[in-house]
Amino acid sequence: MRTALLAQKLGMSRIFYEDGTVASVTLLKCPKSKVVDSFEKNGKSFLKIASFIDHKNVGKLKQPQLKNFADAKIKKSAKIYDSVVSEEGKINKNTDISVNHFVEGQFIDVQGTSVGKGFAGGMKRHGFAGLEATHGVSISHRSHGSTGQCQDPGRVFKGKKMAGHLGDVTVTTQNLRVLVIDAENEIIGISGCVPGKKGGFVKLKDSVKKSVSSNAPYPTYVEKKSESEETVSDENQNKNEN
């Protein structure tokens, strides 16, 4: 299991192919991330990753969170999140992760917070048919009907489908295909729609119902350094050893 990446929803567009077909695509901004730490919890391996996405909640950070930013030497506008990985999917600390972590054509799952729509009735919230338009029914045509039981047990069971708050919950859309990867502009295009509104944050991870593409880098994509950069890094390493 490879790590997940954090992205920001930009909006939807279309892709026109040479054969005349059109595909709807959701564009996501996926800037570089950095592995801050790794830890074990409940028998699972986690990576703590900082995504360099500017967000508006910098002033709401608590003291422990600020300490994490200071220890990792990253700016406070970054967004830190945890991701479950397998033993083979662990990544070394301070490793950069780019949008090239995914490849075109592979299937991924997208997790985000759905758009909140406030209070909604049973018909809109659960797709109920409603009551009849005649035969004695008046005023309450869109009500969800009886919800209780008889004298025994004499109560409404927990989880009964009724009117209530709609949206603003964590939703995972599965098996979406990666259509476009623009590494230069740090943008990834995914087929169809993803949960959430424009500007919202979503997690991108390999599909759990389909096998990972053989072209996908494991555990992640590592940029090749040029000869000049390798020479400079070797010189710095020799200085530190001396």
The answer to whether 168 and 111 have CB atoms below 8 angstroms apart is no
Q: Are 206 and 109 in contact (CB under 8 A)?
A: yes
List the pLDDT tens digit at each of the 242 positions of the chain.
899 999 999 999 999 999 999 999 999 999 888 888 888 989 899 998 888 876 665 666 777 777 777 777 777 777 888 999 988 888 888 888 999 999 999 999 999 999 999 999 999 999 999 999 999 999 999 999 888 888 888 899 999 999 999 999 999 999 999 999 999 999 999 999 999 999 899 999 999 999 888 888 888 888 776 555 555 555 555 555 55
Q: Which of 174, 204, 173, 166 is nearest to 187 (CA)?
A: 204
The tokens for 164 are 């209530």
Domain endpoint, select from 130, 149, 166: 166
Looking at the structure, tell me whether residues 154 and 196 fall in a common domain: no
Same domain, 173 and 201: yes
One domain for residues 217 and 104: yes
Picking from 98, 84, 94, 163, the residue whose alpha carbon sits closest to that of residue 128 is 163
Residues 29 and 132 in one domain: no
Residue after which a domain boundary falls, among 137, 166, 195: 166
pTM here is 0.80
Residues 20 and 46 in one domain: yes
Residue 87, phi-psi category: left (phi > 0), alpha (psi -120 to 50), beta (remainder): alpha
| Same domain flag for 67 and 40 | yes
Do 110 and 177 lie in one domain? The reply is: yes
Residue 148, pLDDT score:
84
Q: Which domain holds residue 133?
A: 118-166
CATH code, domain with 174: 2.40.30.10
Number of compact structural domains in the chain: 2
DSSP line for 2-53: PPPEEEEEEEEEEEE-TTS-EEEEEEEE---EEEEEEEEETTEEEEEEEE--
Pair (42, 153) in one structural domain: no
